[in-house]
Structure 1
């Protein structure tokens, strides 16, 4: 009797997992078109890393560099956060600024191609919530390094 009940529970659990797993494998896409400025000029020394926080672990989707005219254009799949690393206004060559941007869910679409792009112009000399300065000190990456006075 106990084995029969356990078998039914396993069967119901298996059906539930199979039915819900289809949603896990659907395609999602996001499109980003960002133009970077540093003190009014196009700025290309920007590296962007796209993360997906929908997965149990932070999943790196990809890493991209801005073009010569300061533009970043890509699309991928997800719940996207974009981390930007730049040296706009930075005098210490061993330091860079990290900014993160959450891309709103309205720009995440079902399917392989986004219908609308998240477009922005970012002035890198400005301060942003969550901005972080990181430097290499004694061969190690140190975060939250204060800005010089």
Structure 2
């Protein structure tokens, strides 16, 4: 058995406000008969900040996940929404205390499966989104970004807008689509951060809340997804060669 430790930090927000008192847990996921190991747990402070670290004894590398339990954009549902973010092995230290903390960034908890009771919009609809990406300690420049209206069934998805992050990792996209029902907007991010020699690009997908959709070609409000470290592993990510 080897002593291993890891640390992670970040800032959570809900829309434009700090997400305070959010329960965050750092877990070593064990597969098979063993139960998962809770490495650390806490709550975000009044500014939405958190910092967790912990250690465990394992024969193989620990498999660390950050769990975030929150009510942002939950609209009165009985249970909390739960995010799961996998932490890369490069941040594991062979010691009781981590040598370096992974900085996840500033994350807007509104996104992903964000549902709301709303009046159905039809016709031309628009949405704007902005954010910033980095890879480790460096800005993630020239990352491919697409704003897509995801269609189900025989219809193909509609590309609403596309572009690349600038040299600072920043992007902003605005687009519109025409549908008989409310559009289902997604932000897709294609990148090679922490990808090794795997062919094609890692694909992240953000499901954008409906309350940022506006009727007409020009949206009046921009969703800020925050600042994200692309090193993290998302449970529903995939690889994509054609985009």
Question: What TM-score comes out, normalization by structure 1 length?
Answer: 0.64
SS in 1 for 2:80: strand
Which residue does 1:125 correspond to in 2? 110
CA–CA separation in structure 2 for the residues paired with 1:31 and 1:62:
9
Structure whose CA Rg is larger: 1
CA–CA separation in structure 1 for the residues paired with 2:77 and 2:97:
39
Which residue does 1:65 correspond to in 2? 43
CA–CA separation in structure 2 for the residues paired with 1:34 and 1:92:
26
CA contact (8 A) 1:37 1:123 kept: yes
Higher RCO structure, 1 or 2 (CA under 8 Å, sep 6+) = 1
Relative to total residues, which structure has the larger strand share, 1 or 2? 2
CA–CA separation in structure 1 for the residues paired with 2:30 and 2:75:
37
Which ranges of 4 or more aligned residues in structure 1 deviate by more than 3 Å?
none
Relative to total residues, which structure has the larger helix share, 1 or 2? 1
Q: Please list every run of 5 or more consecutive structure 1 residues that lacks an aligned counterpart in the other structure.
A: 1-23, 134-146
CA–CA separation in structure 2 for the residues paired with 1:54 and 1:114:
20
1:98 counterpart = 2:82: yes
Question: What TM-score comes out, normalization by structure 2 length?
Answer: 0.41
CA drift at 1:124:
0.3
Q: Please list every run of 5 or more consecutive structure 2 residues that lacks an aligned counterpart in the other structure.
A: 56-61, 118-243
Aligned residue pair count: 108
CA–CA separation in structure 1 for the residues paired with 2:44 and 2:28:
20
CA contact (8 A) 2:28 2:64 kept: yes
CA contact (8 A) 1:45 1:87 kept: no
CA contact (8 A) 2:25 2:40 kept: yes
CA contact (8 A) 2:68 2:83 kept: yes
Which residue does 1:33 correspond to in 2? 9
Q: 1:76 aligns with which of 51, 54, 62?
A: 54
CA drift at 1:148:
4.8
CA drift at 1:54:
4.4
Which residue does 1:138 correspond to in 2? none
- What is the 5 A alignment of 1:105-120? 105-120=89-104
